[in-house]
Amino acid sequence: MKFYAIRNIRNIYAMRKAILILAFLISTANISASTVQLKQTETVTGLTVELYYRALQPGEVIQVLLKESSSVREATARFLGKKYTFFKMKNSTEYLALIGLDLGVSPGAYPLNISILYSDNSHESLAQIINVVSKEFPVKKLWVEEKFVTPPKEVQERIQRESKILQTIYDIYTPMWLGEGPFIVPSEGKIMSNFGEQRFFNNKPRSSHGGVDISTPSGSPVKASNSGRVLLAADLYFAGKTVIIDHGLGVHTMYCHFSKILVKRGEFLKKGKIIGEIGATGRVTGPHLHWGVKLYGSRVDPLSLLNLKFK
């Protein structure tokens, strides 16, 4: 993988630098004791761009770090029509952005463009092709109450209203990182790796499964997977009693089917805080936690976040 850069040329010296860019130092390394891969590129300004990810497939998260970035004033990344703002990590010269490969993204080569403004007002643009490869998701048949498959007329308005609220929430991009350290599994119990399943409810095709399920008894506590702000704490038709937390930089975790919600909208939470109890509200086959992650609207596998290191 190669980064190509074009630096705004302000004088001859800078032009020489721009030519030197062709001779980028590129190194690739695997981090031991982890399934996360690393692609590293050093630019002539001394800045290092690092990409960490589990795989380049639908539903995966790419963590982008700018290192040795003391002269950076601001940086943004653009990918598949979305603009992500880098955040300068506290007590560090590192900048962080997170990019989501939506569950529905088609295999192909997509440019990731990074734009950096330095404190001397010079500007650098980097481009990297992200080669997304295909992934097969299994088909699953499930049996639920018919009102959750063909909802009656009187709930149509409610469903539409809730769908609009959720869309508005997922479009929120808080340009700062609220998380503290790595994400944690929110509940004890068996984690089903069932992200992306193509689902048939009562033999009718419905949307793919946008999270993982954790099966655990009713009443068990559920923890916030990381620190953040509660954007929603409400009873929804399909998702049941649900909590959505904004961790910043576009990352939203959602927790569904609670029997009891223990937090309020607007509340700032520390990682590990108990936010609710396991239940079977909404469209379910039994008590469990549905744990979902949206990254600036992209449906990503919560398990792809778990391996990433966060300061």
Name the residues that contact Zn ion, by CB under 5 A.
Answer: 213, 290
Rank residues 241 and 290 by Cβ distance to Zn ion and give the closer one: 290
Tell me how far, at minimum, the Cβ of 288 lies from Zn ion, in Å. Answer: 7
Q: CA 192, CA 75: separation in Å to the nearest integer?
A: 37
Tell me how far, at minimum, the Cβ of 242 lies from Zn ion, in Å. Answer: 12
70, 304 Cβ separation under 8 angstroms:
no
Rank residues 77 and 236 by Cβ distance to Zn ion and give the closer one: 236
Beta bridge partners of 198: 139
**Centroid of chain to Cα 64:** 12
Tell me how far, at minimum, the Cβ of 213 lies from Zn ion, in Å. Answer: 4
Rank residues 117 and 144 by Cβ distance to Zn ion and give the closer one: 144
Rank residues 248 and 302 by Cβ distance to Zn ion and give the closer one: 302
Residue of this chain nearest to Zn ion (CB atom) = 290
Rank residues 94 and 213 by Cβ distance to Zn ion and give the closer one: 213
Tell me how far, at minimum, the Cβ of 84 lies from Zn ion, in Å. Answer: 27
Tell me how far, at minimum, the Cβ of 200 lies from Zn ion, in Å. Answer: 14
Tell me how far, at minimum, the Cβ of 293 lies from Zn ion, in Å. Answer: 12
Tell me how far, at minimum, the Cβ of 290 lies from Zn ion, in Å. Answer: 3
Rank residues 43 and 304 by Cβ distance to Zn ion and give the closer one: 304
Rank residues 290 and 299 by Cβ distance to Zn ion and give the closer one: 290
For the chain, the farthest-separated pair of C-alpha atoms sits apart, in whole angstroms, at: 71
Residue 302 has phi, psi (to 5 degrees) of -55, -35
